[in-house]
Structure 1
Amino acid sequence: EWVPLSKAPKPIKDGVKQGRIPSRKMMYFKIGHVFEYTQTDAREKGIEVSDIFKRYHRDGGMENEQDIRDALTTLADARNVTLLDEPLDEIGTAKGCYYPELHAIALNPRNSSIEDISVLIHELAHAELHNQERNFERDQPLTAPEKEFQAEMVA
């Protein structure tokens, strides 16, 4: 019977450390309930994000913002990626999405302009790394967490 090492008696813990008793690593997930500011219409109503939430949201602007946006649009055009004016369906709190079957990207209309730039880079990474052609070339499909990790590392 497998027992968490934290709950095992001292002789068992010592045996595991010395390699006399086999062990294995297990990953567990627990359910967590989260309330997220972007699930509200506070931005649309002009309600400021509290100091607690400010670190989780990118607000403000950046130097040459329009130039960066234009460069990303040019990149999307060059890679034949369609930038949709709005998502095909409600995407909730997701900042954006890539539709591999359409080779298209949509951004959440509730994003701030600075969020749009970072999310567009993330979604362009999906378009390049996880399009249908690339997925077909792989011997083994990537998991959703692997795809998200790759896209986030690019962004």
Structure 2
Amino acid sequence: MNTTAAVANQSTPSNKPQKQTAKEVIAANIQSLIEQLEQGHSEALSTYLTAMGKFHNYSFGNILEIARQKPDATRVAGLYAWNQLGRKVKKGERGIRILAPVIGVRRTKDEESEKDTQTQNQAVLVGFRAAYVFDVSQTEGKDLPEFSGRVSGSAGEYRDRLVDFVIAQGIALEFKESIAPALGMSYGGKIALLPGQSSAEEFSTLVHELAHEMLHKAERRTATTKTLRETEAEAVAFVVGKTIGLETGRASADYIHLYNGNAALLTESLEVIQKTSAVILAAIENSAEGAAEEPALTRAS
């Protein structure tokens, strides 16, 4: 692998176990976000939510790490992945630290393995270690293929894909004038949209109502407030809309009122927003996208 000594020195992961666990890293990033919100810096939330869309194939903890270390990152990959794409990291660039799982093998006793061959030498998660990725802006070389289907101000074919996904979930979709002035309504197994919305408005509204269907029609509904549920749904719409190129404005500054300093509540809320957004995005984006997605080595931390 042709990389400079400076890059190699900065990007080679340590073989020593990391002192911080994945949970501790997440907790530190959440606390940092709380402090920024309490100081009135609501753009910090927009940065985290935008990162959720850009890097939805990454784990929640690693999304927080990328957003904290390089808020303007748009596409990240490891040294090997960039080299495979015909690009190399520029001299002197510092890697973005993420957590990669360390996989070990659990060996079973002979008598146990004879009974069930599927349990022989099972792979198990031992812990995590530091790994490093770089943003495309930190690399040079061969031009990357543009993501297909990117839009600005119009949902385009993503609208039809979203409708197909909604229907595939067994959710009925209808258009009703009678729900005005509401743009959309979720009834538990059915979504109603107000006719006449622009392409961007209709797409965002449908994502918002779909988020309610996915998040707030079971036990989570009784465990959350209406304000929290509405803001979570709006955050999912922000993440998905921003990712496909819609002008979505900035994330709600009122998010600070959702947790009142409760880090556990904020962590839970951001996790469900990230997971729900990732499911929707995976359903509507082209399968050919993401040539420089996170390698299997660094997933699920």
TM-score calculated relative to the size of structure 2: 0.26
More helix by share: 2
More strand by share: 2
TM-score calculated relative to the size of structure 1: 0.49
